[in-house]
Amino acid sequence: MLKHFTWFKNLQKQPVPTSRDNKREPIINWQADGGNNNFPQQLLANVYNSPVGSAALDLWQEFVEGGGLVESGDVLVNRTQNLNELNALLSADLVFMWGLSFIQKYSPEGLPTVRYHLPFEETRLGKADNIGEIGKIYHNPYYGIPKDFDIKYSKWYYAFNDDPKAVIEQIKQHNIDYLDKKTGMVDPPYPGQAYWFSIERPLARVYPQPFYYSSVNWFQVDSEIQSFHERNIKNNMLLSVLINMYGDPSAPAGPAEAKLLADNGNLDQSDTVGGVMDKQLKSFINEKGGVLINWFQKEDEKTSFEAFPTNSHHDLFIALQKIVADQIAIGTKVPRVLVGIGEGGKLGDTQEILNAVRMMQGRTRRMREILKKVYEKVFKVPDGTIKNINPVNVIPDQVWGSLTAEEQRAYIEDNFDVELIKKEIVNPL
């Protein structure tokens, strides 16, 4: 399930069909079937439009980020960020996209100097060589957004390989390959390297497909449910109007229009009675609700409507909302009680909440292990362990307060490293 590429060699991927090649840049498109290099953008749009989906994945990110690193969290990785701050960004990428990336710059001696976060959804892999090695990682903040995309924003970085000898040789070769003989300048200057990691699984060997992808359709349904209610509110709660109008909608709207008909033998739709009526009612239709006009010339042609039983909509959407919330909770592997799914106004059983927190600590441990390895192998910190999130920050006050001092102590000792968190909790018991 997890596959770290070899630490001191270029990134390797399986062969990619030419249909995935980008026509404008030497990159591999990141797309679903029939897509247009916009898989991350489509996926994240579905997540953000779903209240339940967003809450579930935000919870994952909170647990993966944890309480920061045990050691070296305050070490600066660039002029403005320390390792804990970078950890917050990388943990979000790992949860939402099942991958992470950052830029590493080097000194002329081939030693790391600074590191910067590289938003994973904005990266694309360069084309692989004959043996499947990918030598470059591309970045453009507008990949997958056709209306904003401009190739001038694209930048590339060498794939990660921090062996000092290899870096020195790479810098030397870059300065030869990109030397502008007219100006005597290297253009572009040596860009540094991009560390790019993704979690692989069957049928997602090149680019990752996050674990929650099976819930995408439910995210869309969740989004449509709130859109439905929004439209209802704007439409005065399903208020629609039926107008029975006596007359001929094709008749001229007035004397001037009647003269046009007599002179030309035909009349534009906008000059008819029906056309004028449509124009006058357009603002009402757009802002208030639906309008149906029934034109009749005989009394027995007049139409009448019976009110649709709106309570059936109410019951339907309560049931649908519950099904959607359940399915998203299953697909994102989040206990219902932690994303507020349950009886209105109730937090849930105390033991259920405590068990749910314990379960999330276990489910997110694998992602924290990935980050731990990155910090130890790449950042060279002695211990890349990420502290479990402080229980006081996760468990609702009402639940925590309902426990006795003994129960609070036992819960902390069973689920958290007391030595790591006792400095942060001021008299939690």
- What are the domain boundaries of the chain? 1-212+350-389, 239-301
Mean pLDDT of the region 395-419: 72
Q: How far apart are CA 400 and CA 16, in angstroms?
A: 52
pLDDT band at 352 (very low <50, low <70, confident <90, very high): confident
Residue 54's alpha-carbon distances to 212, 219, 247, 328, in angstroms, are 11, 9, 53, 10
Q: What does the block give as tokens for 186?
A: 């290297």
Does 188 or 2 have the greater pLDDT score? 188
Cis-peptide into 188, omega within 30 deg:
yes
Q: Select from 363, 378, 332 the least CA-distant residue to 4.
A: 378
pLDDT in tens, 140-161: 999 988 889 999 999 999 999 9
pLDDT band at 4 (very low <50, low <70, confident <90, very high): very low
pLDDT of 345 above 50: no
Q: How far apart are CA 115 and CA 102, in angstroms?
A: 7
Cα angle: 185, vertex 115, 146; to 5 degrees? 75
Assess contact for 268 and 261: CB atoms under 8 A: no
Mean pLDDT of the region 311-331: 82
Residue 60's alpha-carbon distances to 91, 243, 289, 334, 339, in angstroms, are 9, 53, 40, 8, 11
- pLDDT attached to residue 8: 34
Q: How far apart are CA 120 and CA 30, in angstroms?
A: 12
Say what the pTM is: 0.77
- pLDDT attached to residue 427: 39
Please tell me the number of Cα atoms within 13 Å of 47 on its side-chain side: 21
Q: How far apart are CA 150 and CA 153, in angstroms?
A: 6
pLDDT of 26 above 80: yes
10 Å CB burial of residue 329 (0-12, 13-18, 19+) is: buried
Amino acid identity of residue 247, one-letter, is G
- pLDDT attached to residue 51: 93
Does 284 or 102 have the greater pLDDT score? 102
Q: Across 93-107, 237-251, 346-360, which has the greatest mean pLDDT?
A: 93-107
What's the first-to-final CA gap in the chain, in angstroms? 40
141-145, 309-313, 375-379 — which is least confidently predicted? 309-313
Mean pLDDT of the region 364-384: 94
Please tell me the number of Cα atoms within 13 Å of 224 on its side-chain side: 9
Mean pLDDT of the region 307-314: 55
Assess contact for 290 and 240: CB atoms under 8 A: yes
To the nearest whole percent, how much of the chain has pLDDT over 70?
A: 78
Beta strands in 258-367 (DSSP E): 290-296
